[in-house]
Chain A
Amino acid sequence: MASPLAQFEIKKIIELDLYGYDISFTNSSLAMTFTVIAISLFLYLGIKNLNIIPSKSQTLVESTFEFISSMINDNIGKEGMKYFSFIFTLFLFILIGNLLGMLPFSFTWTSHIIVTFSIAFFIFLAVTFIAIYRHGLLKFIQFFAPSGVPKPMLILLVPIEIISYLSRPISLSVRLFANMMAGHTLLKVIGSFVFVLGANSFIIGGILPLAFLIALTGLEIVIAFLQAYVFAILTCLYINDAIHLH
């Protein structure tokens, strides 16, 4: 029986090399490519026959559009519409990545900390840049010193605020990564229970873990949606912080 973590193993499919750096096309990259293809297909089917009275697929695409746009409106406001494309892409990318990861024999690239961290770190850099660009460096530094706090408290509070700010990309990436990895590991463990118990007790013993596995699969699909939603909404909140520094 393979280790439950074996499913996260990166395997090179095509070995590539760029000036000494290894850029091999791996199973993770393949899963990502599938994600991109799936999203493009989803959107293409939606806009294939654009109509004022939408078809089913167009309704689906437009409700996704509506969902993200209301999320931005609620959390950022009108100024946030500039970042609509980014948040829309991010949400779909993570959501479809999570969902495709639920297919048997596929690979969940969102369960890799380096991928989620790269996205989160990019968001962190972008948000910091937006904040400095819009308000200037001085106001951005003042962001770490909350007003109305006595001076001795600031000595403690400023490092806390800085650490809290720097922990954003980590919390953002670890949340997605940990959820996906834990879920898939659990699925694998329960799956092997089904197999082992079923084989040892003439199938009967496998029924209970199987029921649990089915329930867990449903839960995992919900979590796939939820994590994509949380990732997108936290991105919105961070952009909101950058736009309205307070």
Chain B
Amino acid sequence: MARCAFLSVIFFAEITRAADGKGGMPQLNPESFFSQIFWLTLLFVFLFSVIHYFFLPKILKIRKERDETINNYLNEAKKINDSINLIIDEMEKDFNNAKNRQSSELNKALEENKIKLSKRVAEINEEFEEKKVQLDIDINKNRDSITSNLPSICVKLSDILYEKIMKDKKKGNINEFQKIIGEK
């Protein structure tokens, strides 16, 4: 570095010294050609090797690393996204299952209840019919018994009436009564 500073001081001293205009372009003066080409080659080769063997591999490495990191993150994000999608799918599936089950259960229960209801209605109807028949039978029976008992009751009644009116006891006969009525 000290050498560089020294050289630069000389450089500026040299360049600021007023140059005598020789006329013509200094670029076309062949005296300096060889030294220019020599230093150009030397410095360019030096710079090239420094860049090629020192700087660029490092830059390439870090870029590769960055690409890898980004890809890793992307893959991870994709994986997470996939798993999220999977979970969402599962949830939807579960939800749909639950819905289906609910409606099917509902239907089942409805059907069951319908059957039960109809059964019960039929049972009740049957019972009702039975009772009606029983009632009919009872009524007929009662009627029959009433009609059959009617003459004897009438005889008894007339006996009682007779006793009350005639103050006499007389035992009526049903058969006679029936003869009177004219039946049989």
Residues of chain A whose beta carbon lies under 8 Å from any beta carbon of chain B: 2-3, 5-6, 8-11, 13, 16, 18, 21-30, 32-37, 39-40, 43-44, 46-47, 50-52, 61-62, 65, 84-86, 88-89, 92-93, 105-107, 109, 111-115, 118-119, 177, 181
Contacts and interface: CB of A to CB of B under 8 A. Distances in A.
Interface in B84-102: none
B115 to A, nearest CB: 73
Interface stretch (B42-50, B130-138, B158-166): B42-50
Interface stretch (B26-34, B119-127, B141-149, B175-183): B26-34
Contacts of A88: 51, 56
Majority SS at the chain A contact face: helix
A26 B14 CA distance: 10
A13 to B, nearest CB: 6
26 contacts: A2-B18, A2-B21, A5-B24, A9-B19, A10-B26, A10-B32, A18-B38, A23-B38, A23-B39, A26-B35, A27-B14, A27-B15, A29-B36, A30-B7, A30-B11, A32-B40, A35-B43, A43-B51, A47-B55, A50-B58, A52-B69, A85-B56, A89-B47, A114-B37, A115-B37, A118-B41
Given A37-B4, A114-B33, A107 B52 contact: no
Interface residues of B, number: 49
Contact of B44 (A8, A11, A89, A106): A89
Residue with the greatest number of chain B CB neighbours at <10 A, chosen from A22, A92, A177? A22
A65 B15 CA distance: 34
A11 B15 contact: yes
Contacts of A115: 36-37, 40
B91 to A, nearest CB: 37
